Amino acid sequence: MNYLSLPKIDLHCHLDGSVRPQTIIDLANEQSISIPSQDINEIRALMIAPETCQNLEEYLMRFDLPLSVMQTQAGIERISFELFEDAAKENVKYFEVRFGPQLHQLLGLSFDQIIGSVVKGMHRAEAMYDIKGNYILSILRTFPKDNIRDVIDAGAPYLNKGVVAFDLAGAELPGFCSEFIPYVAYAIEKGYRITIHAGEQGVGQNVFDAISMLKAERVGHGIHITGHQGAYDLVKQQNIGLETCPSSNIQTKAVDNLSEHPLKAFYEDGLPITINTDNRTVSNTTMTDEVRKVMQEFSLSREDYFNIYKISVEQAFASDEVKQHLMSFVD
Ligand SMILES: O=c1[nH]cnc2c1ncn2[C@@H]1O[C@H](CO)[C@@H](O)[C@H]1O
Ligand SMILES: [Zn+2]
């Protein structure tokens, strides 16, 4: 099987976890930011989360270095362009990328400047390559909540012009959903679609709450519904897309190894699973790698692959026109 040439869809990828190591070096030098090394291999090694991570929190420490060079409009635009370029070159046909606008204000950029820059970089890549994309705005669960509405307001003019959805990311505490009800309601009122990281590190109850309290249409990871029948049934009844990210789940100890990942069992039971990268640099992966690993580990056929591809089309926060285009790649 030629995994590189398969058409692919990635619905769960973080911009700041997917920066090219060379770009970190270039931007740090341009902006006179001191970084631990000028050697690309050393920078790459510092960015990749080790297999020995104890948990999600340790994994999330890998984002400080890339974020240090993502504080200018030009830097953010370049990183967005390059990520879409990298994805296009491995036949990702549709790509939803997420990032946290709150993390890019260290030098005083406004949310409009930040969101405008990621969208600009994506549009530049869309004009050059056979790839379509959209952005998802992630709010960090552990951050102060006083500017969440400002992020939602700043993204609103870009809705369906490059921005489509709202997400909650970062460390996952049990019961986090209730605190975010008014903010998610505000995002829905403005026209955002909703996906929420839940059931990654935290309990299955978080997935239940994300769907019932926050009206999530998709869930990031969601693997811990295995231990919660109510959450499992809700995902199934409401056809909630599960954005699985196999390599990341192993690094964060959400599962011990790939063979224990529940995605195959979910698929066989008719749950809408998708396969995604989460963080290309931090998880040292690509869509080609994720698809190869999953297909080989679980002996999935080409037909299975295209079934999952079609689930990704169905679950994408894309326009009908883009979805029709994506269906033209089905075998
Ligand atoms: O797998 C994950 N689970 C939860 N949060 C994550 C994951 N990967 C990245 N981020 C968080 O999302 C922020 C915005 O992109 C990143 O800075 C990181 O803190
Ligand atoms: Zn994620």
Query: Does 10 belong to an annotated binding site?
Result: no
Quick: pLDDT tens for 268-314: 999 999 999 999 999 999 999 999 999 999 999 999 999 999 999 99
pLDDT confidence of residue 271: 98
Domain 8-327 falls in which CATH fold? TIM Barrel (3.20.20)
Quick: pLDDT tens for 74-125: 999 999 999 999 999 999 999 999 999 999 999 999 999 999 999 999 999 9
* Tokens linked to 135: 């952005």
Query: Does 202 belong to an annotated binding site?
Result: no
Q: Give the ipTM.
A: 0.99
If we measure between CA atoms, which residue out of 233, 248, 318, 237 comes closest to residue 290? Answer: 248
| Mean pLDDT confidence for 211-215 | 98
* Domain spans, the chain: 8-327
Rounded to two decimals, what is the model's pTM?
Answer: 0.98
Centroid of ligand 1 to alpha carbon of 17 (angstroms): 8
| Ligand 1 proximity of 103 Cβ (cutoff 6 Å) | yes
The pocket of ion ligand 2, defined by CB under 5 A, consists of: 220, 278
Query: Does 261 belong to an annotated binding site?
Result: no
pLDDT confidence of residue 50: 86
Ligand 1, atom 5, residue with closest C-alpha: 170
Active site residue 200: yes
From edge to edge, which strands make up the β-sheet containing 163-169?
8-14, 92-99, 132-140, 163-169, 193-198, 218-221, 241-244, 273-275
Centroid of ligand 2 to alpha carbon of 228 (angstroms): 21
Centroid of ligand 1 to alpha carbon of 170 (angstroms): 5
The type of residue at 157 is P
Residue 54's pLDDT band, with cuts at 50, 70 and 90, is: confident
Quick: pLDDT tens for 125-172: 999 999 999 999 999 999 999 999 999 999 999 999 999 999 999 999
Is the pLDDT at 11 greater than 80? The verdict is yes
pLDDT confidence of residue 94: 99
